[in-house]
Amino acid sequence: MISKNVEVCFSPFHIPLYELTKKAVVVIDVYRATSAIVAGIGSGVSKIIPVSTVDEAKAYRDKGFIAAAERKGAIVAGFELGNSPISFTEDRFKGETIVLSTSNGTKALLKATAAKEILVGAFLNQTAIVNYINQNHDAVMFLCAGWRDRFNLEDTIVAGAMAKALLEMGWHTDCDSCLASMRLHDMAQADVKHFMADASHTNRLAHLNLDEDIAYCNQVDVFDVVPYYNKKGEIIAK
Amino acid sequence: MISKNVEVCFSPFHIPLYELTKKAVVVIDVYRATSAIVAGIGSGVSKIIPVSTVDEAKAYRDKGFIAAAERKGAIVAGFELGNSPISFTEDRFKGETIVLSTSNGTKALLKATAAKEILVGAFLNQTAIVNYINQNHDAVMFLCAGWRDRFNLEDTIVAGAMAKALLEMGWHTDCDSCLASMRLHDMAQADVKHFMADASHTNRLAHLNLDEDIAYCNQVDVFDVVPYYNKKGEIIAK
């Protein structure tokens, strides 16, 4: 029996180096796009439609959609929502459709469309993703959204957490990025906030007072939900 | 005073994301191309000329040059040398010029030509590189050669070792790849061989019996030499 294989890709920029068609791809942008998607879908949002540009989000908004847009960590002027996961859990969004454009997360999602299936992962639904992958796939790539196409620490440790759980279930890896992710998660898991204290994201967004959001994103297994990106371009629950 | 800045780039594939003209770039392909270059230059080889293709290496060989070529870890048929660092230290090469083509290392070197200065680093000359950078530059990028354009663990921990030494000298970083490299080196340094046991390189090259070479490459500070790539396309000692 060939054992099931885990890979980690550190940035959407690296996607051309990977063959995706036989793999589930789990997109991770933990601070904060995929955490917002998981929190929203986990709290009863019906659909989230990811779009690349702010202009696309505006076009949806002008047609009456609830639209969320974030750039450089802040809500884009003229939008009622950015990518704060806490705001996605509000009761008023239950059963609604939200259109979402974010800096890195939606870009990663839209670049992975060659995959067999595209899932949305975060600490918030870590175990739900792992169990779903284990039951339904033979190969998975965790795709870190990164920051401006570069490696970032926060998405990497989420990938490492999920990869480790799969390896404990008998999956294997021959991918050094996966090994590095698991080892970085080993170091981070006792205190993610402390581990991230000198990370670039922390410094970059310090002026935005995101402490509450970041603490929310660092919670493990709040939602037993597996959001996936369907052929119509919508993210819905499995 | 603006403090001096360290970055780590995990793969030559990522180079388009970086501005190089004001930086020293240190190319690292520790198993084994840059270790071979450091060992050679440190043992009295006069020049090493890196070339991209095996055909270029053959053309030099046919003109009477000593030529080295490695692909998939093995010496290319028809060449007397591959990239074994121990072989580069032989007395017969003292004062000679060696032409070298390797899978990943020379490729990384030739992709970094926009840099202010290109240096060749390995565990073997770790402190020599760090001191030279500290005395002569304000910005450095450690460029991991990786494997087939992907991240690898071994080059990353060498970058992490050098980055840490610079930070101890007052340099700073705002680069998550640099933070990850330093943390991975923290985990690796007590026993590099053990840390690398499940890395992809170890499995990929196991059938080639490279244990002696790998142990050689894992030695820190054997040579007090700073090889650099000059405008004529040669690697010589500073």
Nearest CA to B179 out of A160, A151, A31 is that of A151
B149 and A180 in contact by Cβ < 8 A? no
At position B146, the amino acid (one-letter code) is G
Tracing tokens 């933990």 back to the chain, one arrives at A30
- A44-53, A73-82, A191-200: least confidently modelled range: A191-200
Query: Tens of pLDDT along chain B (238 residues)?
Result: 568 999 999 999 999 999 999 999 999 999 999 999 999 999 999 999 999 899 999 999 999 999 999 988 889 999 989 999 999 999 999 999 999 998 888 888 989 999 999 999 999 999 999 999 999 999 999 999 998 899 999 999 999 999 999 999 999 999 999 999 999 999 999 888 888 887 877 777 777 778 899 999 999 999 999 999 999 999 999 9
pLDDT of residue B229: 96
Question: Does residue A231 fall inside a structural domain?
Answer: no
Mutant choice from B6, B148, B176 vs A, greatest count of A C-beta within 10 A = B176
pLDDT of residue A2: 65
Paired tokens of A95: 């059963």
Mutant choice from A176, A178, A196 vs B, greatest count of B C-beta within 10 A = A176
Question: Does residue B231 fall inside a structural domain?
Answer: no
A174 and B10 in contact by Cβ < 8 A? no
Question: Does residue B171 fall inside a structural domain?
Answer: yes
Q: B198 touching A, CB under 8 A?
A: yes
Q: For A16, phi and psi rounded to 5 degrees?
A: -55, -20
Question: Does residue B236 fall inside a structural domain?
Answer: no
Domain span at residue B186 reads 5-225
Paired tokens of B28: 């690292």
Question: Closest Cα of chain A to B235: distance in Å?
Answer: 29
Which pTM value belongs to this model?
0.94
Question: Does residue B134 fall inside a structural domain?
Answer: yes
Question: Does residue A238 fall inside a structural domain?
Answer: no
Least CB-CB distance to A176: which of B174, B186, B199? B199
Paired tokens of A236: 């819905």
Question: Does residue A158 fall inside a structural domain?
Answer: yes
Q: A60 touching B, CB under 8 A?
A: no
Q: Could you give the residue ranges of the DSSP H alpha helices within chain A?
A: 33-42, 54-62, 105-111, 126-136, 153-168, 176-188, 192-195, 200-204, 211-217
Least CB-CB distance to B184: which of A11, A183, A199? A183
- Domain of B202, CATH number, reads 3.90.1560.10
Least CB-CB distance to A183: which of B11, B151, B187? B187
A180 and B156 in contact by Cβ < 8 A? yes
Pairing of strands A227-229, A235-237: antiparallel
Q: A198 touching B, CB under 8 A?
A: yes
A199 and B184 in contact by Cβ < 8 A? no
Mutant choice from B3, B17, B177 vs A, greatest count of A C-beta within 10 A = B177
Tracing tokens 């450095």 back to the chain, one arrives at B140
Q: B203 touching A, CB under 8 A?
A: yes
Question: Does residue A235 fall inside a structural domain?
Answer: no
Q: Is the pLDDT of residue A110 over 80?
A: yes
Mutant choice from A141, A158, A179, A203 vs B, greatest count of B C-beta within 10 A = A179
Least CB-CB distance to A174: which of B175, B187, B203? B203
Query: Rounded to an integer, what distance in angstroms lies between the CA atom of residue B186 and that of residue B163?
Result: 12
B151 and A179 in contact by Cβ < 8 A? no
Three-state DSSP class for residue A12: helix
Residue A101's alpha-carbon distances to A48, A68, A71, A96, A237, in angstroms, are 10, 6, 8, 17, 19
> Chain A residues with CB inside 8 Å of B179's CB?
153, 198-200
CB B48 within 8 A of CB B147: no
Which of A187-196 are b and which e, b meaning 16 or more Cβ less than 10 Å from the residue's Cβ? bbeeebeebb
Number of domains in chain B: 1
